[in-house]
Structure 1
Amino acid sequence: MVTKALGINFLWIDALCIIQDSIVDWQHEATLMSHVYSNSMCNISALDAHDSIGGLFFDRETSNIPSCTVKICRKFQRKRLYKFAYADLWSDSVQHAPLTRRAWVVQERLLAPRVLHFGKRQLLWECNELRACEVHPRGMPPTGRLQIFHSTSDKFLKESFRPLLQGGLDNPLTSSQMHRAWNDLVQHYTRCNLTMSKDKLVAISGIVKRLQPLFKTDYLAGLWRDDLLEQLLWHVEPSDRFLAGEKRPQYRAPSWSWASVDAPIVPRPELNPVIDHMATVIEAHVNPVADDITGQIVNGYIRLQAPLFPVKVDTSRYTRFPNLAWDWGRLKSINETIPDVWPQSVVEGLKFVPLLMTSFPPHLRSSVLDIFGLIVQPVEGKQGVYQRWGSAELNWREGRDLVNFGVRPINGKWTFEYNPSEKYPEQIITLI
């Protein structure tokens, strides 16, 4: 009905246009998703349908749609008209709708040049230039609380995509802006639900295909090669709900990829300034199931040159700040250690792998030196091979006991340099 009303002769629906019981056809069509949605005239969105039979149309009270206009007259002042509208209208109507909580919808919504949302209460419009609805047909108000939504991930990505969608690759965004946009996407995407968990990487492969010409670097199971050390520092958002598992789900990505866990992910924010890298990426590689490097993964690895520090983690308390026990005793630091999945038993042989460190003058922050790294556990029967166990951040207010990490202050000031210590030399390790 909608397609005919718009005067369009063709309608594409994945459930009808992809042979549902054919793995070969599904794999072929999945690689074309970026072309299907980005070259569409308009994406029709059934916002409040809980499944494929929910439909677009709802009975509604149309008299409640218009906003309320109030005339206020104060003494010795001219009469003024004030327009009152629901401040969270867009957020509640679109962001919290059943449809937008589905992971596959993320790329369908971002790649389409236009989206016509059918909600319970009103129609909403979204394109590269405008967000509007029946209450605000000329665009959502840019002021007040609505401004919060306008700065979130999908709008930033829309702006990132615009030069590409309009046919040009001369994107004005810097590399750091592109990585920030990607981090926003990962944070948003990992909060959405997947019916088939094996689709974790496939469901955003269309977005990756459009981003690759802009990033101009290799894509590695949810991470980008040119920013690999910082992107390895993602962590699970701590909560009782998601840190209840004892092990990762069935394999679909290497342990160093956020796609290997079923939980909301918090990418490490942009670290500035990074004063030194404490690890070096020697090699990184993934093997896809088919020829599509953005889709399903058979396996993958990262080879690092980095020091390894034996560590024990106290997981007896359900907290994001477990105690770390080091060979040389307790550190005078604050640590934030977050497991990827909550261990229900003691794990032996854990190591801390520092990746990079940042430093700030004391008057700017509560800590003056931060070391970011991973907690890894050995793979049984494979020398030098480890799996990721979690992430860790160490914060120092004072620069003592850093010598064990090979970190020392320069000229007695709050600037530091890193040189591997003799007791804990750098090694070649493989993360799988």
Structure 2
Amino acid sequence: MSSNDPPLSTEGGGVMENIDDPISNPNLDPNVPLIDLTHIKKSLSDKDCSICCCVSGIIAEETFTRGLLQLQAFRCVSCQIRLLIMEAVARLEGVIPDAMDRIGLYHDGCTRFWRNGEEPAWLHNVFMPSEAPQCQTNDIEDITKIPRRNFTWDASREDSMERSIKWAKDHLIDQMCPCAVRADDWVAPTRLIDVDPGGMDGDVQLRESASIPQENLDYAALSYCWGGHKPECMTTPKTIDQNMRCIGWKSMPQTFQDAVTFTRGLGLKYLWIDSICIIQDEVSSDDWRREAGRMFGVYKNAKVTFAALFGENSKTGLRDDKFKQQTRVAAKLRLDQSTYSLCVRRRHYLWLELSDQVYFEGLHKNIRVPLLTRAWTYQERMMSPRKLFFTEDEILYQCACGNKCECGIATKASEQIKRAEIRKTNQVQIQDDDHKIQESWRAVVTNYSGLNLSQPKDRLAALGAMAQTSQRRRRPGSVYLAGLWSDSLHEDLLWYCFWSSREMPSDFGEQSDRPFKLPTWSWASLRYKTCFVRIDDPMPLAEIVTALCVYAEDNRFGTLQQRKLVLRSKTLFCSLRNDGNEYNTKGYLLDVDGATQVTPYWRIHIDSEQECFPDGSHAQDVYLFQILHDRECAVNHCLILRSKDRAANSRTFSRVGIMSYRTPAGSRFDKEKDFGIHRWFEERGAMEECEIE
């Protein structure tokens, strides 16, 4: 609206004032319309509008197109405000509003904005800041139905941190919450940072936890992205003595400084940061291997874990300002002598009815949160009973009992959120059946396997704490085997690459598909996200002759040093060809003595095409090795193996994929289409003992 435009009158007598005039409105943003509701209270709750009818307030369980709202904006205040909200949303998303765009405003200020009426819709929240003037009769809330939120979008970094510390102190450490109860057998980390050593003028000090009385060992932990930056204060064999005396404030990057400030603000004396509390030594990694095996206790026993969601490295701070979420003021509402801002921002993180891990995975895809792309931080997040997530401009508190956030939306949303993944992982009782426990681990692997690592050698170590948790829930005698388990080995071997996620991570450059020097039978040997075949009623077909793993420092959840897997089952020699046809086999065919099997009723998943078909070849001699039969759907599942040296009749193999085919027991079994592979196994298969490297 230009300064020459006349005021917009409404049917109820309201006026959208000319707010470009600094004389009449000296304290208002000159680009935000002002709507005076003082004399039109009834027009919002008792009106006769052909568009929004008798809808009470601004919030309504129906949608409106921009074209219709424009028709009524000069006569109906409700339509006018909805139109302003729609335009604020469009500016947030960087689009020009269209007459066919549609908006819906629902309970608690949630909005959906459809571009030309088509899915997917943009999700936003409409609210008034809690610091707005209080109205004795709550007329403004009664009229608009817009909720208030504790949200300040223009606060400085220092004010924002101070506000967050105060909020966290009021809400975080609830002694009545079972998540705040420390386990009787807990063990303190080897080293901790004393954030208030006394007499050091703000500097901190690294200390051995053995020198600290156990009753005083409440500490916070930090989860962040290294991002290739090595801070000056990092502990190495050369700097450990100095760090034990003093760590200068200026030597710490911004994220560490923020974590120290927050720890002090919460009244805690100690802080754990990996690059300071673990000796980082490229020559001798003894301390690293030992401490990496203790991650379960470090995060499990922390009073709270600070998670820097948007920090690309330790220099950006707990709250990276460049990711600060934008908020738009859609309109100013005047009631009597008070003025209220009507604000719009993207929908809150904790609103969707999803579990913690599923939601954050979705968040990662949409907003690109650095912390959620890293493998090490996955278990840090999952193992911590109490977490403070630092977002662009507020903090979220999460534990197994629920969720809270500074703006207040998550407190309501936590009632809708399903059980958090951390609760599933850590608090499921031992009486849960074995199948659920095994499925839970495979879900963890699926979530973890697609995340990035700076050091390929950490592939298993970065999941060690989660493995330790799974071990506690499994039956006695279950052995951890490089990401698989002895009590569910047949099912665990049936993993495959999730092809749509096979994007080359920047961390690995030009390395091969298997950069981890781990056994080919383990999903951890590949860099890609992996999934598992669903098995409803398993019947093992292979005998486990030997399944052995030896780890460094005798830590069964740490660095793998030796392994051996020997299985005995029926084996079929054949040729695997890739002819590019698009069957369920993804274009792979099988030949046995010149006979080709082609059918849509069996599946093949190849781990690595460059490994299976080296030098651009389209055929490879392989062995099908039966692993398991699913009685529910009458399907046999096999490993696809390649002989290490067929000329020497070697019984040592590497895995290149998996295959599934139907058996005659199935009700949908078609002899003409399905019998080939089954007949080949019956007629030509041989029981053999194979070692898989």
TM-score bin, normalised by smaller chain: 0.7 to 0.9
Question: Does 2:450 align with 1:191?
Answer: yes
Query: Which residue of structure 1 aligns with residue 387 of structure 2?
Result: 115
Distance in 1, Cα, partners of 2:639 & 2:378? 29
Counterpart AA for 1:38: K
Question: Which deviates further from its counterpart, 38-47 or 122-131?
Answer: 122-131
Contact 1:253–1:299, Cα closer than 8 Å, also in 2: no
Question: Does 2:609 align with 1:342?
Answer: yes
Question: Does 2:302 align with 1:43?
Answer: no
Question: Does 2:283 align with 1:283?
Answer: no
Q: How does 1:79-90 map to 2 (within 5 A)?
A: 89-90=349-350
Question: Does 2:522 align with 1:252?
Answer: no
Distance in 2, Cα, partners of 1:85 & 1:97? 18
Distance 1:391 1:58, change over 3 A: same
Q: How does 1:170-189 map to 2 (within 5 A)?
A: 171-189=430-448
> Aligned pair count?
385
Contact 1:130–1:139, Cα closer than 8 Å, also in 2: no
Deviation at 1:404, TM superposition (A): 6.8
Match of 2:270 among 3, 6, 10: 10
1:386-407 Cα shifts (integer Å, max 9, x gaps): 1100111224642427777668
Distance in 2, Cα, partners of 1:157 & 1:181? 11
Distance in 1, Cα, partners of 2:485 & 2:640? 21
Counterpart AA for 1:160: T
Deviation at 1:185, TM superposition (A): 0.6
Instruction: Give aligned-pair identity as a percent.
Output: 23
- What secondary structure does 1:204 align onto? helix
Match of 2:532 among 253, 264, 267: 267
Contact 2:311–2:320, Cα closer than 8 Å, also in 1: no
Distance in 1, Cα, partners of 2:525 & 2:262? 39
Query: Which residue of structure 1 aligns with residue 398 of structure 2?
Result: 126
Query: Which residue of structure 2 aligns with residue 222 of structure 1?
Result: 483
TM-score (ref. length: structure 2): 0.51
Counterpart AA for 1:6: L
Distance in 2, Cα, partners of 1:318 & 1:289? 46
Query: Which residue of structure 1 aligns with residue 413 of structure 2?
Result: 140
Query: Which residue of structure 2 aligns with residue 203 of structure 1?
Result: 462
Deviation at 1:40, TM superposition (A): 0.6
Query: Which residue of structure 1 aligns with residue 650 of structure 2?
Result: 383
Q: How does 1:403-418 map to 2 (within 5 A)?
A: none
Over aligned residues, Cα RMSD in angstroms? 3.4
- What secondary structure does 1:290 align onto? helix
The structure carrying a bigger helix percent of its residues is 2
Distance 1:407 1:101, change over 3 A: same
Query: Which residue of structure 2 aligns with residue 398 of structure 1?
Result: 669
Counterpart AA for 1:199: D
1:189-231 Cα shifts (integer Å, max 9, x gaps): 0121111011000001112122212113110000010111111
Distance 1:158 1:329, change over 3 A: same
Distance in 2, Cα, partners of 1:124 & 1:240? 29
1:56-110 Cα shifts (integer Å, max 9, x gaps): 13458899499x9xxxxxxxxxxxxxxx996662346965521121100111111
Distance in 1, Cα, partners of 2:328 & 2:384? 27
Query: Which residue of structure 1 aligns with residue 692 of structure 2?
Result: 431
Contact 2:581–2:588, Cα closer than 8 Å, also in 1: no
Counterpart AA for 2:604: T
- What secondary structure does 2:430 align onto? coil
Query: Which residue of structure 2 aligns with residue 321 of structure 1?
Result: 586
Counterpart AA for 2:386: R
Counterpart AA for 1:29: E
Question: Which deviates further from its counterpart, 232-241 or 53-62?
Answer: 53-62
- What secondary structure does 2:421 align onto? helix
Distance in 1, Cα, partners of 2:273 & 2:363? 21
Distance 1:65 1:18, change over 3 A: farther
Distance 1:382 1:124, change over 3 A: farther
Question: Which deviates further from its counterpart, 180-189 or 334-343?
Answer: 334-343
Distance in 2, Cα, partners of 1:349 & 1:294? 36
Deviation at 1:114, TM superposition (A): 0.6
TM-score (ref. length: structure 1): 0.79
Distance in 2, Cα, partners of 1:86 & 1:137? 14
Distance in 1, Cα, partners of 2:411 & 2:500? 40
Distance in 2, Cα, partners of 1:65 & 1:127? 31
Unpaired segments ≥5 residues, structure 2? 1-260, 332-343, 351-358, 611-615
Distance in 1, Cα, partners of 2:325 & 2:512? 50
- What secondary structure does 1:353 align onto? strand
Compare relative contact order (CA 8 Å, sep 6+) and give the higher one, 1 or 2.
1
Query: Which residue of structure 2 aligns with residue 76 of structure 1?
Result: none
Contact 2:324–2:393, Cα closer than 8 Å, also in 1: yes
Query: Which residue of structure 1 aligns with residue 316 of structure 2?
Result: 54
Query: Which residue of structure 1 aligns with residue 142 of structure 2?
Result: none
Q: Which has the larger radius of gyration?
A: 2
Counterpart AA for 1:17: C
Query: Which residue of structure 2 aligns with residue 308 of structure 1?
Result: 571
Question: Which deviates further from its counterpart, 373-382 or 319-328?
Answer: 319-328
Question: Which deviates further from its counterpart, 376-385 or 194-203?
Answer: 376-385
